Structure 1
Amino acid sequence: MLSWFVRRTRLPLLSLRCVDCPSESATTGEGRFRVNANGKLLDVWLLVRCVSCDWTSKLTVHERAPVRSFDPAELDRYHTNDPELVASKLLDPLFARRNRFTLDWKGAWRLDAPPVRLDEAWPVKVEVLFEDPVPLRPDRLVARELGLSRNEVPRRIKFDVPPRRSTSAGFTFTVMAEN
């Protein structure tokens, strides 16, 4: 069985309406958090910038949370703008829903795949693994990587998931011999 890996090359852009211009794309840039104390309560925001006008907006991570509710190590990660923490917050679907944005993965991922050799014994089973939740249609990914037309995919490929649905979870498929 061959393994293909879908990997993130950069953080995806956010589809988020800008308050200053008509743009609907924002980026985290270097990924900076802002922590604000108000007495014994903390607010934590993730700062994002509009790609068109450079306007800064805040996405709420924690709002009016008691200082004691934070793990000291986690609070330190917010203060040091930990890149892994930025990525985990952005890729969290609940965080996206709460802050009303979606992720735009165009140009933010790559497929690491060994070539399927034509001299191998048929059928060839391939497993596709995702390191991050990149939404892809299995049929389009396979057609692009194997150089097949979209009409050829149903004849040569057997999927374990329906190929018309977008997925961000791993899946397997089998490449059948050309008849």
Structure 2
Amino acid sequence: MDCGSKSATTGDGRFRVNANGKLLDVWLLVRCLSCDRTGKLTVHERTPVRSLAPAALGGYHAGDPELVATTLLDPLLARRNRFTLDWTGAWRLHTPSAWPDQPWPVEVEVVFDDPVPVRPDRLIAQGLGLSRNGVRHRIKSDTPLHRPTSARFTFTVLPGAPTGLALAG
């Protein structure tokens, strides 16, 4: 944004489409949370009209909320426009109220309803009430636990965790 803030909101989730002959520019309009000014994120620049899918073009004109969300989640758009999404508070690990009565180790599968990137070690630590050091010692997974992911993954809770530990629900 012009004010130097890195905080923005999608505002009304509107696209602006500008035609120049057979070329289109498409921007997603955003509003700064600090100064309330409107800015734009470049979605397409000098793109031939025929190269855009008719459904996408219609979605840009209609301000389709699903297309707004998909556009904002595109990592290439974020890199090109130099922004990151703030996912603070956007996820939580749904867990049972008590440890299951099954033999150790316990295998857990994590599935995402939405593509929210999260570091698995932070998700597990918060969801199971463990420290990140405890996660390092008690959790085994083929997925790197320190790299953000939004893909389904599994992990194994090894013995040593208190069996009376109440999990966050």
Report if TM-score (shorter chain) is over 0.5: yes
Secondary structure at the counterpart of residue 14 of structure 2: strand
**Counterparts in 2 of 1:49 and 1:119: CA distance versus 1, 3 Å:** same
Matches of 1:136 and 1:172 in 2, distance apart?
14
Change (3 A) 1:155 1:33: same
Q: In the TM superposition, what is the alpha-carbon distance from 1:132 to its structure 2 partner?
A: 4.0
Q: 1:99 aligns with which of 81, 84, 98?
A: 81
**Contact 2:107–2:155 (CA<8 Å) still a contact in 1?**
yes
User: Please, what is the CA RMSD of the aligned residues?
Assistant: 2.1
Matched, 1:161 2:143: yes
C-alpha spacing 1:73/1:167, structure 2 compared with 1 (3 Å): closer
Q: 1:73 to 1:164 in 2, by over 3 A?
A: closer
Alpha-carbon distance in 2 for matches of 1:117, 1:73:
47
3-state SS of paired residue (1:65): strand
Counterpart code for 1:122: W
1:44 counterpart SS class: strand
Q: CA shift at 1:104, angstroms?
A: 1.7
Question: Shift of residue 168 of structure 1?
Answer: 3.3
1:124 aligns to 2:106 (yes or no): yes
- The TM-score, its normalising length taken from structure 2, stands at 0.81
Q: Deviations over 1:12-68 (max 9, x none)?
A: xxxxxx21x242211112311011122332211110110011111111112222333
TM-aligned CA distance change 1:158 to 1:112, over 3 Å: closer
Structure 2, unaligned runs of 5 or more: 162-169
Given that residues 15 and 63 in structure 2 are in contact (C-alpha distance below 8 angstroms), is that contact kept between their aligned partners in structure 1? yes
Question: 1:11 is matched with which residue?
Answer: none
Q: Distance in 1 between matches of 2:24 and 2:70?
A: 20
The sequence identity of aligned pairs, in percent, is 68
So what's the TM-score if we normalise by structure 1? 0.77
After superposition, the Cα gap between the structure-2 partners of 1:60 and 1:177, relative to the gap in structure 1 and judged at 3 Å, is same
Length, aligned pairs only: 160
Q: Higher relative contact order at CA 8 Å, sep ≥6: structure 1 or structure 2?
A: 1
Q: What amino acid maps onto 2:37 in structure 1?
A: W
What amino acid maps onto 1:78 in structure 2? Y
Deviating 4+ runs (over 6 angstroms): none
d(CA) in 1 for partners of 2:128, 2:50? 54
SS in 2 for 1:61: strand
Which region of structure 1 is more displaced relative to structure 2, 132-141 or 56-65? 132-141
Residues 42 and 166 (structure 1), Cα distance of their counterparts in 2 relative to 1, 3 Å cut: closer
CA offsets, 1:110-158, max 9 Å, x none? 2252315242332210111234443322222112111123333233222
| Structure ranking higher in strand proportion | 1
